[in-house]
Structure 1
Amino acid sequence: MPLFTKAQFTLSGSVSEKTNQKILPGANILLKGTGKAATTDATGKYQLTNIKAGKYMLLVSYIGYETLQRQIEVGSDQTLDLSLVPSAFLADEVIVMATRATEKSGTTYKNLSKSEVTANNFGQDLPFIINNTPGVVVTSDAGAGVGYTGIRIRGSDATRVNVTVNGIPMNDSESQGTFWVNMPDFASSVENIQIQRGVGTSTNGAGAFGGSLNIQTSAPELLPYAEVNSTYGTFNTLKNTVKLGTGLIDNKFSFDGRLSRISSDGFVDRGASLLKSYFLSGAYHGKTDLLRINVFSGTEKTYQSWNGVPESRLRGDIQGMNDYIARNGLNATDAANLLNSDSRKYNSFLYKDQNDNYQQDHYQLLYANQLSDRFSFNGALHYTHGKGYFEEFKNDQEFSAYGLPNPVINGAPVETTDLVRRRWLNNDFYGATYAFNYKAASNLNFTLGGAYNEYRGQHYGQITWSQVSSTLNNSDHYYDGDGNKNDFNIFGKIAYNPVEKLSLFADLQYRRVKYDITGNDNDLLPLNVHDTRNFFNPKVGATYFVDPKSNIYASLSIANKEGNRDDYVNANVGTLPQPERLYDVEAGYRIKHSGFSAGINVYAMFYKDQLVVTGKLSDVGASIRQNVPESSRLGVEFDGSYTLSRFFQVNANAAFSRNKIKNFSEYIFNYDTNVEEVNNYSNPDISFSPDAVVFGELVYKPFSGFAVALQSKYVSKQYMDNTQNENRKLNGYWVNNARFGYDFSFKGVKNMNIGLLANNILNKKFESNGYTYGYLSGGSRTDENFYFPQAGTNFLLSLNVKF
């Protein structure tokens, strides 16, 4: 192995900003002429090993800072701490500053650097990459993290987690969720992520009721590069990524691109996914201004696995499965599928094209200008176009349910047919965001920002095939509905330091939402919904700096949020869902030293009119969410990292909470009497809100470039409805993973990384998600429980080469 000749000495140290000694994770260190390079870790540390004695030129680079060149002589092991000076051009970080939390804003948050995102990126959706952060629980319909995935923060689902990319909203305006399947391998184009828990600071898009994900896309590298990444693993999971970049041209221009393809068979039967995406970015970097254009797109074709596994199939209960078949009228083929499938891999869908197909194209024009030493501006124009459908086979469908006349065959009307239908969603989302920042004095800073966005959505259905034809062509629409939404917000933020150790923060936001739903829904019922809401969302906070390395903070925030499309569509005629309101109190202590960092915080989240599933049916039989007057989440969270030695590091976090509805009424339909019966509960747990989420990681680095991480995560039991019934719950689970990574370089290759992710190494059988509904019939209650089992032991092996 002549390329890996043993050398004699080690060069190590840290990289920080010269003016304030702020650490710089992700800085590049290059020893010219040797091919040896390193990147600073999350604590700003670096290490170069196997260096022969001699004189060298050391290069240190970091976006937003001037490249440092230093002549060094190596004759023994050395510790060399380096400082960088901010560069003359504007850095990309200014794009997200207005919506980011800082230590002075009294907010509970966690930052993930590019290196941390990269280390966990094996092709799974982004929720799985941030799974090991406090209070986060993730799930996968197909069981292996590829395809449709979900995330909850502090028990709040994706519709209550605000997601922005470069300050631009990503949540769907109507459903309010973020569908990561439409953004495959997006993590490969991420510079950093800030996860705010609770209300957080004012941002753009729908209100954050559980948390926010504030994502910044990749900043340019200083030098040209090419990068190829391939991952292969269990369930024929395959990821191929190619990245190219020009580096900074004439210290002014940069161009970057990525092309990705991910395919997987999935853990569950027929849970296959084929995902494609690209990301293109070009930028002009001036001394006082920055112009960037991003174009990115994702295309997904995913076999549907969103029905889950009935409890009787999961438990192997033969009699229970036969009862399920009888209750639900399964035909012989579907009954055989249920009885003969693997208990954890069962998928109720058998039609070969039972696919979800969708493409989403994003266009972003970002501009920032440092107008003076005190005054700066950044803004963006954006446009997103989405188009797609899901296709499904339906047997024995009544023509009248599709607004069609019964065809007459041999003189007799035919009332039902087997058919294939597609339900389409075409939408356009566009608008502008902006922020002005004014530093009035060294201890006083103002930010004025906001956005105006419009959403236009078309919902329609087609019958592409039917066993018996009626009057509809396969390109005609059997329903058409529109959803139009205008969203305006403006916010002002003030940070003030009255004395050296105390920082005060105020953040006031006004948001106006106008939502119109017209046409017909997929059940052919007419839609005529018009609602306008005005929200005031104030936030105040204070931070006291005990010393330069530790601080105490507290904040009070109020957030308001409108219901989603289903809440409006399924409401009884003439009624509208009331908006939700959240009062969030946060307090905590943070400390950071060179080998140790930790934070502990407590929170109290009090909801007014939270929308929850009650079992209530609308006047046309649709399941609806209802406002419950009072509910709350109280908790304590811990997040810490400790370097035991130069070989071992421990990372850990924990979230313990009490999540309650003060008074809850469950509605259950009685088919014997055709009326709804009501059961009242006092102080039940909120559904899908575990009392404990605990994570621990032991990292072992026996030599430079190689690391082994053993990870353990525990999630306590979760109830699938709001009655706290032990028969309708997800059992708690404890899952262990292992991650291996080895970085090295040789002539012609800047860096090569070999990585291995071993998931669920103890082969734990667990379910991370589910749903339930019940009814009364024959004098007794029946509960239909469905679960989403996750994969047993599985592996992903990756190879990344950077030139």
Structure 2
Amino acid sequence: MKNIKNILLGALFFVTATILGQTKITGKVVDEMGDPLPGANIVVKGTTSGAATDFDGKFILNVESSSGVVLVSFVGYESKEVSYTSSDLGTIQLISSNLLTEVVVVGRGVIDLAEGRKTPIAVSTIKSAEIQDKAANWDLPEILKSTPSVQNIKAGGFGDGQMFLRGFDQTNTAFLLNGQPINGMEDGKMYWSNWSGVMDVANAIQVQRGLGSSKLAISSVGGTVNIVTKTIDNKSGGYIKQTVANNNYIKSTIYYSTGVSEKGWSFSSLLGHWQGDGYVNYTGGQGQTYFFSVGYQPNINNTFNFLLTGAPQWHAAAGRGTIQEFLDNGIRYNSWNEEGVNSPNLINGPEGKRYPGGRNIYHKPVANLSWDWNINESSSLSSVLYGSLGRGAFVSERISNGTGFARGSYNNHNWYGLVSNYSNELSENFNFNIGADIRTYNGLHFRGVNEFVGISSIDESSTFSGNYTISNTYGGINPWGMLFNPNTDHDQRLDYDYEENITYYGLFTQLEYSSDKLSAFFQGSLSNQDHVKTDHYNFTESTDSEKVSNFGYNLKAGTAYEITENHKVFGNVGYYSRQPFHDDLFDNIRNSNDLIIPAVENQKITGFELGYQFGSEFVSANLNAYHTTWGNRTLLSNNGEIFDTPAYESYQTQGVEQIHMGVELEVFTRPLKGLKVNGFVSVGDWQFNGNGRQRTFDSDGDEIGSSTSVQLDGFKVGGAAQTTAGVTVDYKLLSILSVDANWNFYKDLYSVGSLTQESLKLPTYNIADLGISISPKLKENTYLKGISFRLNVNNLFDEVYLESVNGNTPASVNPSENWKGLNTSNRARFGYGRTWNASIKLSF
């Protein structure tokens, strides 16, 4: 009994000493404008003991000692170390930063953020709060328009927009979702309708212009855009958000996260639905968003996370019209849908416009599994295993007198990959990375029947050999139907039927040296791509093309020197030998396995960058200069006519060289408490150098005539404005009310077209946007942690402007045939007029 008594007394003493030895410290974390930062992390330095701030930015943390240091961090802000000797730390203010160290919980070694090395690059960061405020019913390119050398083209229908970076289109900019490449494997394209939900789950987006810091075996020309989504939240909570906008747009979203349990588990999920009529006539659409993430941290050295997300949707498309047609009918005019227009997609049956102008229907679920392993104090391994199933089609009706069918042009795929990166701190000054980037892709392309109208089958015996009757339908108008009924029967397909198999494997490495003042790095990668195309001839036999293997590599190096604490200079140089896209290799991608002769060779890209950075408490600035030579590229274009008509022609121009050079300046200021004023200006000179050889194809993809030489030397590169500028002002009027506005200016924008003659210079324009946020204070200890209201008005002054022109017809001698110096016969798209959206968000 005496021994038991002693044990109990000893245990009681130990527990009491532990409790009495603990100290509670409190404080509040705010941003530079004095707003609370809910969810900020406070960790005792050198330990895993920590806490998170509540909705009001307040925290309580138990510490073992009455003195020490805590590390305070929050997404998109510079971390701060705070010493404590008392129980109240007071108000801790964090300053905005382009770095995103605190964002990444999983896949840290794979997601190539700018702080991956100390040598600076040309980079801009959009943080979660701004994304949530301004995204609403917009795609990602619209959110990035206030960064240097970026232009967004809305292009009519939901999700059909494009982004240009330093004059290069989306096919030549690498887009990564938590380290996973998401550009199309066949042609590099991005379709934002497939990623309509990414804004809802984005923690931050970082735009790396030019060479960037990407360690992957990716040879992007324009730059890299890193989309970092939510994965593991430290604290439980969620929100319900309702958005309404012009043209009957409505969007509902609900998100919840459990936080991290004591056993290391965490779950988060998001569900959303949207629908609307579209700004352009007859471009309605609807879709859903789903996101599910489960994380597990068995110990401090291992973190696992599984993520599944998708955005099934359908939306009607918009065609280009002539400038004159827009002037006659208004900027919402849709040449593919208006009554009386001779369009192959116009519906004349009694059932009305079921597929106005053609309907894009797609579902692309994406899943990835991440593992971060801290092997020891100096080395770590990060890996992301991912997969994607794309199912969908562009559907248009073939109906006469109320009977016929809806034809779908299917573009399905099965895509799997692995990215893995090993990092080792060799010494105090040297850090080494090496990794692998492996992808396998199967693309399935064909035409089939989505649904019948007034009939149950069609006889295609006159087109194909033997008795050929199509009676099966696939997908219908529902993107979920596309996913689960993807049409696998070769004898039920129309027009064309082929597959593409691409295997990609690469190795990449980086060595970095850093000291107090000087840093330098070297990056290199090797990759190989294998291409095989399979045609299912007449749906009775299959024939494989010759296997094509292309080897590529890239080399990047740079150095930086810190002159003083506030001044830093840097320089980077890179050379890429980049493989051509799969679609550039074949004579006729739809109807032939023949390779282009002579064979398409690798593109050659050389880039140079110089930069200067200045930073102080109230003002910081980034100045960048760049020069990029892009040689031996293959350029695809068309004459701007309506597809599926005899007038439509497309062009493939080989041996093209482009030179892009320019200067970019970003300035960030905080002149007064509660006021932020940021601005940028970018001036570029992008033009073609030398000449090329052009091949011409009709709307069926058959070559017309033989290749001809085209004169390109000195022609301006079209598509994006070469001079842009912008100012953003954010002012907190009251503790619950803030107002922000931005102004964007576009000049030196040129048309695109057949390249047979010089591009046209488009009129200069500018756009102003306005935003208002209201966040009323709520009583403490309520289930509802916060409520906020947001109103956005885009193109506040209803500016009428041309955002793109596809054509090269020069101005007419007759002034009545011109508009602002442009011949009105050129096909074009006008930008959106004034639009608005409003939302309410309830946080719990």
Q: TM-score range by the shorter chain?
A: 0.7 to 0.9
1:395 shift after superposition:
7.1
> CA distance change for structure 1 residues 312 and 727 in 2, over 3 Å: closer, same or farther?
farther
Q: Does the 8 Å CA contact 2:384/2:419 hold for their aligned counterparts?
A: yes
Quote how far apart the aligned CAs of 1:674 are: 7.4
Q: CA deviation at 1:482?
A: 0.3
Say whether 1:798 aligns with 2:839: yes
Contact 2:531–2:547 under 8 Å retained in 1 = yes
Counterpart pick for 2:262 among 237, 243, 250: 250
Query: What is the deviation of 1:750?
Result: 2.0
1:743 aligns with 2:775: yes
- Match for residue 667 of structure 2? 640
Paired residue for 1:480? 497
The match for 1:452 is: 438
Amino acid at match of 2:177: V
What's the secondary structure of 1:690's corresponding residue? coil
Provide the residue aligned with 2:419 in structure 1. 433
Residue of structure 1 in register with 2:621 after alignment: 598
Give the CA deviation at 1:252.
1.6
Indicate the percent of aligned positions where both proteins have the same amino acid: 19
1:501-531 Cα shifts (integer Å, max 9, x gaps): 1101000111111112221699999883632
Distance 2:213 2:185 in 1: 20
Please name the residue that 1:649 is paired with.
Answer: 676
Inter-CA distance 539–523: structure 2 relative to 1 (3 Å threshold): farther
Instruction: Show the counterpart of 1:491.
Output: 508
Structure 1: distance between partners of 2:232 and 2:80: 12
Change (3 A) 1:313 1:395: farther
- The amino acid across from 1:555 in the alignment is N
Shift of 1:698: 1.7
Deviation at 1:754, TM superposition (A): 0.8
Question: Post-superposition shift, 1:728?
Answer: 4.1
Q: Would you say 1:518 and 2:553 are equivalent positions? A: no
User: What SS does the aligned partner of 2:775 have?
Assistant: strand
Matched with 1:625 is: 652
**Partners of 1:311 and 1:668 in 2: CA distance:** 27
Q: Separation in 1 of the partners of 2:543 and 2:680?
A: 49
3-state SS of paired residue (1:441): coil
Alpha-carbon distance in structure 1 between the residues aligned to 2:338 and 2:271: 44
In the TM superposition, 1:71-86 aligns within 5 A as 80=92
Bigger mean CA deviation after superposition, 716-725 or 236-245? 716-725
> CA 1:98–1:734 in structure 2 vs 1: closer, same or farther (change >3 Å)?
closer
Kept after mapping to 2: 8 A contact 1:717/1:733: no
1:45-60 counterparts in 2 under 5 A?
none
The residue number in structure 1 matching 2:276 is 264
Alignment length, in residue pairs?
712
Query: Does the 8 A contact of 2:71 with 2:80 survive in 1?
Result: no
Displacement of 1:262 in angstroms is 1.8
2 CA distance for matches of 1:652 and 1:225? 35
Partner of 1:381: 385
How far apart, CA to CA, are the structure 1 residues paired with 2:571 and 2:300?
Answer: 37
Larger displacement relative to structure 2 (109-118 or 187-196): 109-118
Matched, 1:611 2:634: yes
Alpha-carbon distance, 1:551 to partner: 1.2
**Segment drifting more, 378-387 vs 543-552:** 543-552
The one-character-per-residue Cα deviations of 1:255-306 (angstroms, maximum 9, x if unpaired) are 110111121211111111212111100111221110001011110101122x
Matched-pair contact (CA < 8 Å) for 1:61–1:67? no
Structure-to-structure mapping, 1:548-587, within 5 angstroms: 548-570=565-587, 574-575=596-597, 576-587=599-610
Contact 1:27/1:39 (<8 A) preserved: no
Paired residue for 1:702? 733
Three-state SS of the structure 2 residue aligned to 1:316 is helix
Please state how far the C-alpha of 1:791 moved relative to its aligned partner: 1.9
Q: Tell me which amino acid in the other structure corresponds to 2:772.
A: F
* Aligned twin of 1:127: 141
Q: Using a 3 Å threshold, how does the CA distance of structure 1 residues 141 and 421 change in structure 2: closer, same or farther? A: same
Distance 1:70 1:768 in 2: 59
Query: Could you list the per-position Cα deviations for residues 147-181 of structure 1 after superposition, in whole angstroms to 9, with x for gaps in the alignment?
Result: 32211111111111101112111111112112221
Deviation at 1:574, TM superposition (A): 4.1
**What's the offset of the Cα at 1:562?**
3.0
Measured in 2, the distance between the counterparts of 1:358 and 1:233 equals 23
Aligned residue identity for 2:108? I
Q: How far 1:773 moved relative to its partner?
A: 7.4
- Whether the 8 Å contact between 1:95 and 1:368 is mirrored in structure 2 is yes
Question: Tell me, what secondary structure is at the counterpart of 2:171?
Answer: helix
Q: Deviations over 1:102-137 (max 9, x none)?
A: 362342222232223223221311221222111111
Residue 137 of structure 2 aligns to which amino acid in structure 1?
G
Task: Kindly provide the amino acid, as one letter, of the partner of residue 540 in structure 1.
Answer: A
Q: Distance in 1 between matches of 2:621 and 2:39?
A: 21
Gap runs ≥5 in structure 2: 1-26, 43-50, 60-69, 96-101, 347-351, 461-467, 473-491, 589-593, 641-647, 699-703, 811-822
Which aligned pairs between 1:280-295 and structure 2 lie closer than 5 A? 280-285=292-297, 286-295=299-308
Measured at CA, do residues 560 and 235 of structure 1 come closer, stay the same or move farther in structure 2, by a change above 3 Å? Answer: farther
User: Per-residue CA shift, 1:394-421, capped at 9, x if unaligned?
Assistant: 479xxxxxxxxxxxxxxxxxxxx97531
Give the Cα separation in 2 of the matches to 1:385 and 1:337.
30
Rounded Cα–Cα distance in structure 1 between residues aligned with 2:139 and 2:85: 41
Residues 1:788 and 2:822 aligned together: no
Q: CA deviation at 1:332?
A: 8.6
Cα distance 1:514–1:335, how it changes in 2: closer, same or farther (>3 A)?
closer
Counterpart contact for 1:241–1:260, Cα < 8 Å: yes
Inter-partner Cα distance in structure 2 for 1:155 and 1:546: 32
Q: Say which SS state the counterpart of residue 733 (structure 2) adopts.
A: coil
Shift of 1:721: 2.8
State the alpha-carbon separation in 1 of the partners of residues 392 and 312 from structure 2: 9
Which runs of no fewer than 5 residues in structure 1 stay unpaired?
1-10, 17-23, 41-57, 84-88, 340-347, 397-416, 776-781
Q: For residues 505 and 219 of structure 2, what CA distance do their matches in structure 1 show?
A: 12
8 Å CA contact retained: 1:114, 1:191: yes
2:429 to 443, 449, 454: 443
Asked if 1:163 is matched to 2:146, the reply is no
Residue 556 (structure 2) aligns with: 539
Matched residue, 2:66: none
Give how far 1:609 is off: 0.8
- Alignment correspondent of 2:20: none
Secondary structure, counterpart of 2:406 in structure 1:
strand
Over 3 Å counting, the alpha-carbon distance change for 1:679 and 1:774 in structure 2 is farther
AA aligned opposite 1:37 = D
Change (3 A) 1:250 1:610: same
Code of the residue aligned with 1:390 in structure 2: it is F
Give the counterpart letter for 1:558 in structure 2. Answer: Y
**Residues 615-644 of structure 1, C-alpha deviations (whole Å, 9 max, x = no match):** 799xxx963322335320010001121111
1:28/1:37 contact within 8 Å kept: no
8 Å CA contact retained: 2:345, 2:357: no
Q: Take 1:642 and 1:523, find their aligned partners in 2: how far apart are those partners?
A: 64
| SS of structure 2 residue aligned to 1:314 | helix
Cα distance, 1:469–1:443 mapped onto 2, change above 3 Å: same
SS in 1 for 2:612: strand
Distance (Å, rounded) in 2 between the aligned partners of 1:310 and 1:522: 38
Summarize the alignment of residues 1-400 of structure 1 with structure 2, pairs less than 5 Å apart: 27=40, 37-38=56-57, 80=92, 92=105, 95-96=108-109, 99-102=112-115, 104-142=118-156, 146-204=158-216, 206-250=218-262, 252-285=264-297, 286-305=299-318, 307-316=319-328, 333-335=340-342, 351-352=355-356, 354-394=358-398
Classify 1:632/1:336 alpha carbon distance in 2 versus 1 (closer, same or farther; 3 Å): closer
Residue identity matched to 1:360: K
User: Counterpart of 2:562 in structure 1: which amino acid?
Assistant: F
Q: CA deviation at 1:583?
A: 0.5
**Cα distance, 1:567–1:36 mapped onto 2, change above 3 Å:** closer
Tell me which protein shows more strand as a share of its residues: 1
Contact 1:162 1:171 in 2 (8 A): yes
When residues 719 and 60 of structure 1 are mapped into structure 2, their CA distance, relative to the original with a 3 A threshold, is closer
Paired amino acid for 2:151? V
Measured in 2, the distance between the counterparts of 1:331 and 1:294 equals 42
